[in-house]
Amino acid sequence: MFAPPVNRLITELARLPGVGQRTAQRLAFHILRVPDDQALPLADAIREVKETVGECEVCFNLATEATCRICQDERREAHVICVVEEPGDVIPVERTNEFRGRYHVLGGALSPMDGVDPEDLHVSELLSRVVGNGVRELVIATNATTTGEATALYLADAVRERAPEVAVTRLASGLPVGSDLEYADEITLGRALRSRVAL
């Protein structure tokens, strides 16, 4: 129905997560409508990130050099490592301004059903960083999902076995700050109840 270049653009846009055929069409027509100097910078930006952005060789966060800016920052505490699933998860933790340690990006979560095993993630690299390097605490900040929890439990076991001196902690589960009890799902509320703290 469309000219081949338009079809190709729609196909490529529809590959993006959360972008269906309709949205891809709408985005394609937007790109067609705007002047070149509003559309081509997106093409250039895609090419640029793929050419210049890679993985930090220490923590697997995004990096434009061999190591990322956090690993390069001497002021960051080397004895606390926060483990996250994806590079994008570093951002929300950084935004809290509560964490001054380093990171380790796993590259996903364990999910044997989907064929994601420990060797598909940066688990062995994490264990190498943790064992005998003066690390005192590992904060596991994987998602509060089934796979995220399974990954947390797996890592806790693996670290305890190889480096029992390292404290392994997990982000607290509970009611989101500012939320109404009325709207909390029963699993979150149950967890919040079990994890209740003394005032």
DSSP assignment string, 23-41: HHHHHHHHHHHS-HHHHHH
For 64, other C-beta atoms within 10 Å of its C-beta total 11
Choose which of 21, 57, 62, 123 interacts with a second copy (CB under 8 A): 62
- In this complex, which beta carbon is closest to a second copy, that of residue 12 or of residue 165? 12
- What string of DSSP letters covers 90-140? HHHHHHTT---SEEEE-SS--BGGGTB-GGGTTHHHHHHHHTTS---EEEE
Q: Looking at 62-70, 144-152, 175-183, 186-194, which segment touches a second copy (CB under 8 A)?
A: 62-70
Among 77, 79, 91, 100, binds a second copy (CB under 8 A): 91
Comparison of 58 and 166: residue with beta carbon closer to a second copy? 58
Could you tell me if 150 and 156 are in contact, meaning their C-beta atoms sit under 8 angstroms apart? Answer: no
Tell me if 120 contacts a second copy by CB under 8 A.
no
Binding mask 9-48 for a second copy (x = CB under 8 A): x-xxx-xxxx----x-xxxxxxxxx--x-xxxxxxxxxxx
Q: Which is nearer to a second copy, 28 or 58 (CB)?
A: 28
Helix (H), strand (E) counts: the chain: 8, 6
- Select from 6, 78, 116, 153 the one that contacts a second copy (CB under 8 A): 6
155 by DSSP, 3-state: which? helix
Where along the sequence are the contacts to a second copy (CB under 8 A)? Answer: 1-6, 8-9, 11-13, 15-18, 23, 25-33, 36, 38-50, 52-53, 62-64, 69, 86-88, 91, 94-95
